[in-house]
Structure formats: C-alpha cells, structure tokens
Amino acid sequence: GAVVSQHPSRVICKSGTSVKIECRSLDFQATTMFWYRQFPKQSLMLMATSNEGSKATYEQGVEKDKFLINHASLTLSTLTVTSAHPEDSSFYICSARVAGGANTGELFFGEGSRLTVL
Amino acid sequence: AQSVTQLDSHVSVSEGTPVLLRCNYSSSYSPSLFWYVQHPNKGLQLLLKYTSAATLVKGINGFEAEFKKSETSFHLTKPSAHMSDAAEYFCVVSDRNQAGTALIFGKGTTLSVSS
C-alpha cells in the first residue's frame, strides 16, 4: 500500500520555540493531506485539511496562527507549531489520500510525531 | 454529517476466545467504513474497509466486519484472539460522495487479551 512518512517521530522542545513536522507521501501524489492530533488514551481529532497549492482549512477551535500548515507540493505537507507551550504536547498524525485515485475515502497514515514541550 | 459510535470503550477477552468490537455509524450518504488498529505510541494500521462491495469484509490478521445497513452497524470480529491483538481499535467513517472529506474517528475501543 501507499506509504506516508512523518519526521521527526519524536521531538522535545523548550516552551516558546517553534517546531516543524513534515509529512511526505513516498510513493504516490497526494493533493489532500489531513492533520490529526491525539491526546493520551483518546481518539484522533481532525485539526485541518491541507490542500496542495492553497490555504489549509482548519477545524473549529484550532488556531491557524498557532498551527501553520503548508502543502507546497504533491508529496509534502508541513505542520509548524509556533511558540509551543506545554499544552501543545501531543501526538500529531498526518494522513494522505491518493490523488486521482478512486474515491473510496481511504487514507494512509504516517507513524505520528510525538511532541513534548518542556 | 457523518459520525461513528463505538459502543464499548474497553473490551477484555481471553486468548483463544472470540472478539467482538461494536460500531454504529451515521451518514447522510453511502458511507465508506474502516477499522484501524493502533499499538502504543505507533501510527495507525488499516485492518479492513467497506466501500460498497461485499457487505462481509475480510481484513488482515483474521479480522472481519459486516456492514449492516438496516442496523447502521459495522462490528469487528475475530474468531480467536491472540495476545498480539491487544491494542486500540478505531471505527472510522468517510463520506464517499464528497471528495476530500476527512475520516471521522470513533472514540476507540481498547482491547485487552489475557492468557
């Protein structure tokens, strides 16, 4: 199946710094990528939908100035957590849909990135 | 709007006994339904998917699920649990008629398997 790679898998940073997480589709093109956040022992909550070449669409309650999303190419989307604070500590997971494929709704998920803000 | 309800937050079984994880969905259109598994601190792995073909779907690791439109259910089953099946399971719905719609996750069911 299609492979989605996230980097870094784990990052620890000081409060007030910014952290960038990359999401790459390795063997397919993805016009749409999705960013999810998962708190410990909870489900995945959709943060935003990232469309190649256009602005991301954020879910209600997600601060777009806090979580900057860029989808500059058909294989790369980035999430930047700006001025991170301890409450931003979480597991962030990206997913992608194959561009031009049958719209079965299936997404392919990255391995996730665990952010810890001290 | 679509939604999914996982009826049990935690299921405990003994190794070798059957597994049943329950899921009900709500969707305005013909849904695609999925079950994903997540092991601790790991990403998500697709177990199986229903996309309007056969209503009984077979997935990896011996899991299967049956789409029942009349009951709006998509329960996940396995005849005989293994210790390695212990993980978090998510029932997920997507609206196939709206391209670009993200997947909506249930709250998850934690499966524990005892020896």
What is the pLDDT at residue B53? 76
Q: In what order do the strands lie in the sheet with A67-73?
A: A4-7, A19-25, A76-81, A67-73
Q: Does B89 touch chain A (CB under 8 A)?
A: no
What is the pLDDT at residue A66? 96
Q: How far is B108 from chain A (nearest CA, A)?
A: 6
Asked whether residue B19 carries a pLDDT value surpassing 70, the answer given is yes
Residue ranges of chain A with pLDDT lower than 70? 1, 99-105
User: Domain holding B54: CATH number?
Assistant: 2.60.40.10
Token digits of residue B64: 């299967």
Asked whether residue B101 carries a pLDDT value surpassing 90, the answer given is no
What is the pLDDT at residue A105? 61
| Residues of B in Cβ contact (< 8 Å) with A49 | 100, 102
Q: How far is CA A47 from CA A67, A68, A95, in A?
A: 9, 11, 12
pLDDT exceeding 70 applies to what percent of chain B?
A: 93
d(CA A29, CA B95) in angstroms, rounded, equals 21
Q: Does A60 touch chain B (CB under 8 A)?
A: no
d(CA A84, CA A69) in angstroms, rounded, equals 15
Give how many domains chain B has, as a whole number: 1
d(CA B107, CA A47) in angstroms, rounded, equals 16
3-class state of residue A33 by DSSP: strand
What is the pLDDT at residue A104? 59
> Is B99's CB within 8 Å of A110's CB?
no
Mean pLDDT score of chain A, rounded to an integer?
A: 89
What is the pLDDT at residue A63? 94
What is the pLDDT at residue B99? 47
The residue range of the domain holding B85 is 3-114
What is the pLDDT at residue B96? 56
Token digits of residue B93: 């719905």
Asked whether residue B4 carries a pLDDT value surpassing 50, the answer given is yes
Over residues B42-70, the mean pLDDT reads 90
